[in-house]
Every structure is written in structure tokens, then in C-alpha cells.
Amino acid sequence: MSITESLSIAISQALNHLYSINLLPGSIPLQETRRDFSGDYTLVVFPFVKQARKNPETLANEIGTHVIQHLDVIKNFNVVKGFLNFQVADTYWLQFVAEKAADARFGLAEAPVDAPPVVVEFSSPNTNKPLHLGHIRNNLLGWSVSRLIEAAGANVKKVNLVNDRGIHICKSMLAWLRFGNGETPESSHVKGDHLVGKYYVEFDKHYKQEVKQLVERGVEEEQAKKEAPLMVEAQQMLKRWEDGDKEVRALWEKMNSWVYAGFDQTYRRLGVAFDKVYYESQTYLLGKELVQKGLDMGVLFRKEDGSVWCDLTADGLDQKLLLRRDGTSVYMTQDLGTALLRHNEFGADRLIYVVGNEQDYHFKVLKLVLGKLGFDWADKVFHLSYGMVELPNGKMKSREGTVVDADDLIDEMERTAEEMSREHGKNDALSPEEQKHLYHILALGALKYFILKVDPTKNMLFNPAESIDFNGNTGPFIQYTHARIRSIVRKAEEGGLKTGFELQDEGLQLGEKERGVVKTLFALPATVKSAAAAYSPAMVANYAYELAKAFNSFYQDTPILREENLNLRRFRVTLCAFVATALKNTMDILGIEVPERM
């Protein structure tokens, strides 16, 4: 039983014994003591004043006295107006360190082997362009949320749905046919996804010229956008693709293969992988079957032009297109099919979609349509809606070629990591291979941490220069803290000092900074549980920062290897190793590697 559970029970018993107030322990409003107060846990007594018929100070003192008499691990209390602050005995914190310090998985729960999995979809790129900064936030968030749910004790399946068909894909294909002159990744020495993205931009450039020419001839702009020859031909190409045209399909397979090879390289650099990859080209037909089912059930309807819709006006939305008039599918069509496929394949406990907040409407529709089609698991669909990521110079647009490619950004981060490391002398003792690996993990640590420390629901501004600082709330600061701790532990082991300590040694009394480190460690399991419930890696990121700060404060003021009392020295080395484990585990949830030395 944890200290908070024991304390809640003792408070519940005090309220009942002293004032006949019956309150279950789980309802006790216990919270961590504010830093400007002395104590570990605080009870706000104001809610009980009326029933107890006592003023707040008297009430708090009486409850505190009763608790101390009946709970040995509480050694003291103080009252500040209506705030009752309890101080936990050092013996409890020492026992906690003794029991948990050697646990390499501290803070991480184990999932039951046969538990139905949580399916997390993320990445979901289009095969008409390379991954960019927006995709990076999606991939990092999806990966870390998956790791976080696993850390809280659930089975997880990480899946990717590649949007490999549709009008946007045909735009790149058509532009390559028109303007590519047979260019390939091999002939141009350009990464495949970058090459295809180049032709997506080319399409937009020539398409805009055609629209402009039509407008100059007196055609209304909206009509010109529909009648521009390139757009008409792209629509025709999509229809030929859906009809199975061999020539179009062969070109589609060739260009997509270039993109997949490029994606795989970027995923490896980011440290992201999937348990299964789905392709829209393989799921949209199942979606079409569901649309037909909806027509047969009478929950969908067909308009005069042949298009199929779902009327959601009674649900506070509007009418949603599910099939175009020419029979071609839309995003919703394949999402219906994919949702059914995953539910049947995995028997999923939840279906989580990590998709930007511009798709909030889309996922409201998805849940409603699945429900109308009779699937009782529709309420298991959850949209993890996240904010957009921008650069200091504004938003990015793929079709205009103003995006920041993921590969280019990683390259820039690695160069900056090398410069910063050399400037701070962090790499002098490492071999060239070790230095290269260090630059990579510092770059990725900076990138991932800067993005993940922000609440997922918020828009964010990404500043590469700020992210890679070795001071402040950054990934490299935490990575350096871990390396520093591992250096301390290595020196202790080289000197013959093993971790572990004697609990009964009366000389073991925690200083204020030590207590702060131990209390922060104690909070890790609850933090992981709360963060998983909120799907918020930001809570884990900021926990890691608070732990690193607490350790560095302790390190600056407290002798460790120079401590004369042998048992106290062993305790402090043990505490150091414990902090390293907690930092490693929390950063691993974020997908960040921590170095052993810097």
C-alpha cells in the first residue's frame, strides 16, 4: 500500500472518530504539498468545517494529531490556516529506495498477455510527397502515446495507413509523365519521396498557370479550377486507376515504390516502426461494400447524380459525401473499411487515430456513420486531436513547396548538435564512431523532446536553436544529466563501491535536496498512469525535466563520492543509479535514447 493510500485511510478514520464524518479514503482531497510550505502531502480541511463545527486551524490540528498517533510513517505535521501539511518519515522514503532502486523497469507496468490491444494509428502519409515537420509531430506523438499506453500496462498495436491512392497521387503521376523526362531516384541521386514530391509541386505550378489563363479568357475562377486541362486529366487518371487500367497501375506502383523506400529511411532515422502497415488502395473497396450496406439498410442515400451521402443533420452536422457521382471513393470511404478491418483483425479495446485537429469533423462523422451502420464498437473510436506545428516564418504548404522536409530538418539538427557538443567539450573522450552516434541521439533527443513537451492539443512553434540547448527544459539537458549520473556510478563501481545500503543506520537522514529527489522518483508510476489516461506524453516529458532539475540541485549541494559516512555514500550512489533508471525509462517512453557518457 502506498503512502498516499495509507494516509487517506488514516484521515478517513480520524474524520469518522472525531466528528462522525463518513468519507471513503478514495474521496479524501489529498494533494502534494506546495513548495512554499513545509511537508509532503496536504489536506485542505475547509470542506469539513461546517460538519465538524470547528474553525479551520483547530480542525486541522486535531486531525493531524490523530493521524500521527495512528500512522507511524507520518512523523510531523504543520497547519497553515486551513491547510494541514503532513511530513513523511525518512524511514518510509529510505525503504522505498531500498525496494525499488534495483528495478530496471521502475515506473513501467506489464500488460496482461491476453488483453485486447489498443490500436494506435499514426503517420498516415500521402505518397505524393516526403514526410515534413508536420508529419514529425504526428509520428513522434503517435509513437510516444503508444509507448505510454504500453508503460501503463496495455497491449498496443502501432499501425500506419498509407494514403497511396487518390487525386493527389494522380497529380504527381501526371506531372512526372508530362515533365519528368524519365527521371528516377537513381538517375538524379534524389531520395524517392523527395523526387515524387518535386512533381507534386510541378503539377500545382502548371495547374495555376492554366487556371490563370482560363480566368483571363473570362471563365469564373471556380469554374476554371474545375476545367483546367491538368485537373481534368488527373480526375480521368483516378477513374482509370479505379477501373484497373494496367498502364496507370504500373506507373502508380513504380512511383509509390520510390516513395516507400524514402519513407522507410526517414522512419529509421526517427526511430519509428509499425506492427502493421495498411494501404488505402487495399481498404477502400471494403469501405465501398459498407457504403452499399448502408444503402441497403436505408441509412445512406443516393442523389440524382449518383453520389452517395449520409444525412447527419439530426446529429448536429450536415450531409456527408461517401461516394462521388463517378463511383470513386473519398477518405471517409476507406476509413470506414479500415476501421472494420482493424476491429475484426485485432478485437481492439480502442481504436486511436493520431490526426491533426483540422480533421475533428472527419472523425465525428466516422463514429456517427459506423454507429448508423450498426457497429456497437463505434464508441471505441477515439480521435487524438493535436495542434499544428509551425516555424517562426509561418505555416507550410506542400503543394507550394514551402514545407520543411523531415530529412533536411534531421540533418540540420545533427549539424547543430555537433557544433554545440564541440563548443561545450561534450565529445572529447569519444571515438569518431561514438561521436557520430552521440550527435544523432542528441539531435533526435532535442527534436523529440521539444515537440513532445508541449500539450498535444496546443499549436506549437518549433525553434531548432532553442531545442538543442544543454540548459533549460530541453532533451539534451536531460540526456546530459543521465550521462553525468552514469559517470558517477561508474566511478563508484571502479572504486569498489557497490550500490545498496543499510536501512537501520541511524546516520541515514535525508537532506532537503535528497528528499526532493526521492519524492519525485516516487511520483513516477502515478505520473505514467495519469499521462496514459490523458494521452499526454507532455506530462512524462515535464516529469523527466523536474527529476533532472531535482537531481542537479541535489548534486550541486550534496557530496556523493566524497561523503565520509560509507553507508550514506552507498545510499547516495544508489539514489543516483535510481534516478538514471527513471530518466532512461521516461525518455524511452518519448522515444529518446539517453547516452551513457558525454
pLDDT value, residue 400: 45
| CATH code of the domain in which 173 resides | 3.40.50.620
Burial 417-440 (b: 16+ CB within 10 A, else e): bbebbeeeebbeebeeeebeebbb
174 and 277 share a domain? yes
Instruction: Classify residue 97: in a domain, yes or no.
Output: no
78 and 145 share a domain? no
- Residue corresponding to grid cell 498509407: 162
- Residue corresponding to grid cell 538543442: 468
381-386 vs 350-356, strand pairing mode: parallel
217 and 262 share a domain? yes
Residue 529 lies in domain? 420-589
pLDDT value, residue 396: 40
279 and 385 share a domain? yes
34 and 171 share a domain? no
Instruction: Classify residue 301: in a domain, yes or no.
Output: yes
217 and 319 share a domain? yes
Q: How many domains does the chain have?
A: 3
Q: Is the pTM of this model over 0.75?
A: yes
475 and 564 share a domain? yes
Closest listed residue to residue 251, CA positions, set 188, 191, 196, 194: 196
130 and 84 share a domain? no
pLDDT value, residue 395: 46
Give, to the nearest 10 degrees, the angle between helix 192-216 and helix 246-270.
Answer: 120
pLDDT value, residue 576: 97
Beta bridge partners of residue 353, listed in sequence order: 121, 383
| CATH code of the domain in which 472 resides | 1.10.730.10
User: From CA 99, how far away is CA 85, in angstroms rounded?
Assistant: 26
Q: How far lies 92's CA from each of 217, 554, 569, 572, in Å?
A: 83, 19, 19, 16
333 and 194 share a domain? yes
Beta bridge partners of residue 241, listed in sequence order: none
pLDDT value, residue 242: 87
Convert 554-573 into a string of H (helix), E (strand) and C (coil). HHHHCCCCCCCCHHHHHHHH
The ranges of the chain with pLDDT < 70 are 392-403, 426-428
385 and 427 share a domain? no
Cβ proximity of 470 and 420 under 8 Å:
yes
Which tens digits make up the pLDDT trace of 46-85? 999 999 999 999 999 999 999 999 999 999 999 998 999 9
Take residue 165 and report the three cell numbers written for it.
491512392
Which tens digits make up the pLDDT trace of 202-255? 999 999 999 999 999 999 999 999 999 999 999 999 999 989 999 999 999 999
pLDDT value, residue 176: 98
DSSP 116-157: PPEEEE----BTTS--BHHHHHHHHHHHHHHHHHHHTT--EE
Alpha helices in 117-275 (DSSP H): 133-151, 167-179, 185-188, 192-216, 221-227, 229-242, 246-270
pLDDT value, residue 399: 43
Instruction: Classify residue 117: in a domain, yes or no.
Output: no
Instruction: Classify residue 98: in a domain, yes or no.
Output: no
Instruction: Classify residue 127: in a domain, yes or no.
Output: yes
Last residue of a domain, one of 337, 367, 400: 400
294 and 440 share a domain? no
365 and 475 share a domain? no
